A and B are shown apart, each in its own frame.
Chain A
Amino acid sequence: MRAVFETWGTALAGLAVVLFFVVAAPNFASPTNLLNIVKETSFLAILALGFTLALITAELDLSIADVASLAAVVTGFLIHGGHPPALAVAAGLGVGLLCGLVNGVSVTRLRVPALIATLGMAAMARGLGFMLTEGVSFVGRWPTGFTGLARASVWGIPALVLWMAGAAAIALVLVKATRTGARMTATGEAEEAARLSGIATARMKRIGLALSGLAAGLTAVLLTASLSSAAPNMAGDYFLYAIAAVLLGMTMVEPGRANIPGTLIAALTLKVLGNGLVLMGAAYYVQDIVLGFIIIASVAVSASVMRKAPLRL
């Protein structure tokens, strides 16, 4: 019983939140609203999946949201200039991946702690985003070949949901079923033991941070396609949400460890919470207060399960 509670306790709390809004929030349970929540969750979930992969190697990536904004602006810039969608998509993903690789090199080769390296990257990405746009947004009637990436449906399933499911499936297979995933996990769990067992721990950290950047790039492409626009700082609101999703996810499924299913469940829970609060008429800033509380409480819960600090960053 206790084990069930430690593994699923916060997930059950999330379910309770959903049920609460079903009863209390007007229109919450309407099919349109529920579908919207799931679609909206995809951006958050994909961004948070990247953060999860970095955190599995015990590195923090505070640049995800600003890198996503930069990648969105680059994608929008190219689409807006009439370039082929394939090029714009590749550029968006490439910007994300490149920023992640730079983070990885800063952390492992230049020995800058991830907290500092990714904070610096965040500032640079934000600055570059404003530089490219000169502070305004790219908005337009963009080709459906591009916007369809986010707005189309396949067999009645919204593309965004498929992207989220695909990204989660790939991340899950990577972490649980591949040799690289096992080595990333070992690196995050016990870096010195992993190194002494012959694992190239620095390379695992570079992979984790690079994938985090790539996930930010994918989030950016989908966000841009979905909104038909790109603006500097357009992913800024996802920063606290993504971190909260990963830390809340750490309290469930594999308590004390960043994990893919936990991140997904937590992302959905947080979106439900945000949506429900809005429907109930809560002011916008309430979300920040709630997220901040969840971030701290989640780590405290993980710490009590592990009986020690879950993060040593």
Chain B
Amino acid sequence: MTPILSLAGITKRYGGVEALKGVDLDVHQGEILAVCGDNGAGKSTLIRIVSGAHEASGGEMRLHGAPVVFRSPHDALTRGIATIYQDLALAPRLSIAENVFMGAELVRPLLLPFVKMLDRKGMRTAARGYLERLQVPVTDMRRPVERLSGGQRQAVAIARALHWNARLVIMDEPTAALGVKETGLVLDLIRRLKAEGRTVVLISHNMADVVALADRVAILKGGRKVIDRPLKGLDADTLAHMVMTGVDRT
């Protein structure tokens, strides 16, 4: 089957730093792919390219087999790729509804040409619907997201991806700042995305999370992909060792 997303020979230079040195990576429909690697391995750079936040210096990206170039996050979003960044995803002082619909607001039939009037009530109702679908019980959609727990914030960011109807959801370290209970909530959210038939790329340092969720794991080291294999048969310790050494000795 054609991969939903296929990267070939992706490179990225920041001035003199070569953050990615030719990465090939396929993402298949419906899977959870974990991307692991030490600090500085190039994980964030890779997802910034896939999400349209940065342009690659070289290489090719294909979506359902057709070459694509993303010049902005908006390009990637409209093509069904939503990315959830660890710290940058939300506007803390804006409400849940405002965050879920940021950049894709619901509008009412036009009052005047060019003037798009917000449908705030519709957005609150729909935001509640998305959170119910994710089984996160929050009632007041006017509440600023800075007053939510870390797990609830991830849910708001995921609700935004649902609203864009993203077929591929990329998450950068979604559990890094969370306690045990909140981490469990986020892992459940990711399982629900998969159950809805969506594809997930999960960047994580937490090997327990990876083992609990992933179907496949790709390991980056020094800007190259050194390992790409099914998760089957790996435990967290072996995985951690593989991330450290970049060698698959199973």
> What CA separation (Å) do A185 and B91 show in the bound complex?
10
- When the two chains form their complex, are residues B90 and A193 in contact, meaning their CB atoms are under 8 A apart? yes
Query: For residue A194, which residues in chain B have a CB less than 8 angstroms away from its CB?
Result: 91, 102-103
Q: Identify whether the interface residues of A are mostly helix, strand, loop, or mixed.
A: helix
- When the two chains form their complex, are residues B103 and A190 in contact, meaning their CB atoms are under 8 A apart? no
Taking each of B51, B53, B103, which has the highest tally of chain A beta carbons within 10 Å of its own beta carbon? B103
> What CA separation (Å) do A124 and B72 show in the bound complex?
35
How extensive is the interface on chain A, given as a class? 20 to 34
Scan B167-195; emit 1 where CB is below 8 A from any A CB, else 0: 00000000000000000000000000000
- When the two chains form their complex, are residues A198 and B73 in contact, meaning their CB atoms are under 8 A apart? yes
Tell me, rounded to whole Å, the shortest Cβ–Cβ distance linking A148 to chain B: 28
Tell me, rounded to whole Å, the shortest Cβ–Cβ distance linking B104 to chain A: 7
- When the two chains form their complex, are residues B103 and A178 in contact, meaning their CB atoms are under 8 A apart? no
Asked if B107 is at the interface (CB within 8 A of a chain A CB), the reply is yes
**Closest B residue to A187 using CB positions:** B91
Scan B188-222; emit 1 where CB is below 8 A from any A CB, else 0: 00000000000000000000000000000000000
User: Which residues 51-80 of B have a CB within 8 angstroms of A?
Assistant: 51, 53, 72-74, 77-78
Asked if A172 is at the interface (CB within 8 A of a chain B CB), the reply is no
- When the two chains form their complex, are residues A180 and B116 in contact, meaning their CB atoms are under 8 A apart? yes
Name A residues whose Cβ lies closer than 8 Å to a Cβ of B: 177-183, 185-186, 189-190, 192-200, 256-257
Name B residues whose Cβ lies closer than 8 Å to a Cβ of A: 51, 53, 72-74, 77-78, 83, 85, 88-94, 98, 102-105, 107, 115-118, 160
**Given pairs A189-B92, A189-B94, A198-B103, 6 additional interface contacts (CB within 8 A):** A178-B116, A180-B116, A186-B91, A186-B102, A190-B88, A194-B103
Instruction: Name 14 interchain pairs, CB-CB below 8 A, sorted by A.
Output: A177-B117, A177-B118, A178-B116, A178-B118, A182-B105, A182-B118, A190-B88, A193-B90, A193-B91, A195-B53, A196-B73, A196-B83, A200-B74, A257-B93
